[in-house]
Amino acid sequence: MSTSTVVTRAERQTSQSALSKVVIAALLGNVLVNAVLQALVLHTLIVPLTIILALTVVVAGVVATRWRWAPLLAVLWCVLAIIPGMAPYSYNLMHPAEIGTFIATVLGLALYLIAIVAGLTATFAGDRPVAEGRAPGWLYGFLVGVAAFSVGASLVSLIPPSNSNAAAVSPEALAQLPALVATQTKFDRTELRAKVGETVALRLDNRDAQRHYFDVDELNVHVPMPARTAAVALFRPTRPGTYTFYCQVPGHREAGMVDTLIVEP
């Protein structure tokens, strides 16, 4: 009599850990993806993201304790962790040409999704699969689906962009243009000057390992500056005034990539 009770409890523990293992793996996988992103792609430490990653490791540790509500805690944590990343995530997903950040974002979100689904299953629907001593069969299908989607989306980002606007300009001509340099997430000039009616041709020299943009909203100028490349901005202001140029990549304007363009009459 008592033997069967013991077996059931042992089975329950084993199987709970099957779903918990998926949650833990997804959480730690997410930490790994973002650590690699910061170290190898961005070459910068994003402090808020790093704090989130550290707490994610802690949550994974709590799940490992097999506390009854730990999977639910993991689900809530994933949702909380995604919210502050909304702006950068949507920016990254809309810019597949930035391969590193795009792939990291797809993988990171896929892993959050896996943690959420596995966590919810462990919390609310865990009983039946628990008795069988393994994760429910559909979970494997779900994992394969998410993996296939991630790989597919990542492949999309590898399609080369149709053209870069600097490709049409010879290196000699490019070298002669006045330059605006972006380095360490800053522009090297706090002020640009232009004359009404005169075409401005700027060499946009990005020395960073990440993409930047040259944006002037009022003049409808939005020029991508691929990493470690020179691009060209061509525009003709028609009204005198003081304008703001900045970089639209999330966080960069706040980091100081915002300066003044003065158009003289």
Binding site for Cu ion (CB under 5 A): 212, 247, 249, 252, 257
AA identity, residue 150: S
Distance of alpha carbon 162 from alpha carbon 102, whole angstroms: 18
**Which residue's CB is nearer to Cu ion, number 77 or number 246?**
246
- Min separation Cβ 44 and Cu ion, Å: 11
The CB density around residue 9, as the number of other CB atoms within 10 Å, is 10
The CB-of-249 to Cu ion minimum distance in angstroms stands at 4
Look at residues 88, 93, 78 and name the one whose alpha carbon lies nearest to residue 26: 78
Give least dist CB 50 to Cu ion, A. 19
- Secondary structure tally for the chain: helices H, strands E: 8, 8
Measuring CA to CA, how many Å separate 129 from each of 70, 86, 94, 161? 18, 34, 38, 46
User: What angle, 0 to 180 degrees and rounded to 10, lies between the N-to-C axes of helices 70-82 and 47-64?
Assistant: 170
Nearer to Cu ion, 254 or 264 (CB): 254
Q: Which is nearer to Cu ion, 7 or 209 (CB)?
A: 209
Is the CB of 22 or the CB of 249 nearer to Cu ion?
249
**Residue 97 beta carbon to Cu ion: minimum distance, rounded to whole angstroms:** 14
